[in-house]
Amino acid sequence: MTIKMVAVDMDGTFLNSQQDYDRKRFANIYQEMKEQGIRFVIASGNQYYQLKSFFPEIAKELSFVAENGAYVVSEEKEIFYGEIDPKTVVDVLTILEQFEDGHTILCGKNSAYVNEKEPAEFIQHGSKYYHRLKKVPDLLEIEEDIIFKFALSFPVQQVEIVLEQLHEALGDKLVPVSSGHGDIDLIISGIHKANGLMQLQELWGINAEELATFGDSGNDLEMLAHAGHSFAMGNAQPKVKEVAQKTISSNDEQGVLVTLEQLLQNN
């Protein structure tokens, strides 16, 4: 078995419930990965600027598949971005007005945006995942930015029903995917984490059999199905465990780090 590339989701996967990880243990693993020539990639629905903040010492040498694949940056160089057509942005915002219990963040290349009338609690929650988050009077009036995706939040118990309703309401405009904890992302069809990883694979000449991926939510399904070695967290959603080749211990049991140590020994 030869692994040349590892991609990890962050929330519920690499990060524990306190939104952190064993930094000393990972530093040793990362050093070993470098010595073996293995690329380490962060693949998350979150904003690039937020993801970088978790790796202050090494962010400049890492690769990020951010915004669920809509923004790919490697060693601070922009590799790829997807763009939602401005008319579609307007159409989708109009559709979302029908969903009374939902809250919306519009995710752009320069910043994320939230309506200033949203509850303060929601805005504060959003700022954890979007380090660049601007409050604006009206999401319909955002110009001068490239929009990647919509990040929606609903009561957890409504998510499955809302996903079905969004599929029906949106048609082929955008694809709704669950990203855990009551969050739903609306992404461009075909632009998901696996697509982002493929951009990097092409850049580095790495095939899917040499790729290991780790995830826990619906937005990880494509990259788990794509990789030669795929791991669902013990805390993962049932459908994620079905797609992944193996289920490992949970994010609070450092499942990713434990498994990486094993993989490095056998590589």
Cβ neighbours around 18 below 10 Å, total? 7
Residue 9 annotated as catalytic: yes
Options 9, 183, 185, 216, the catalytic residue: 9
Indicate the SS3 state at residue 148.
strand
Residue 47: Cβ-neighbour burial (10 angstroms; 0-12, 13-18, 19+): buried
Contact in structure between 189 and 177 (CB atoms under 8 Å) = no
Q: Which residues contact 80 (CB under 8 A, 6 or more apart)?
A: 71, 72, 196, 199
Residue 120 DSSP class:
H
Contact in structure between 148 and 82 (CB atoms under 8 Å) = yes
Contact in structure between 41 and 161 (CB atoms under 8 Å) = no
Which of the residues are catalytic?
9
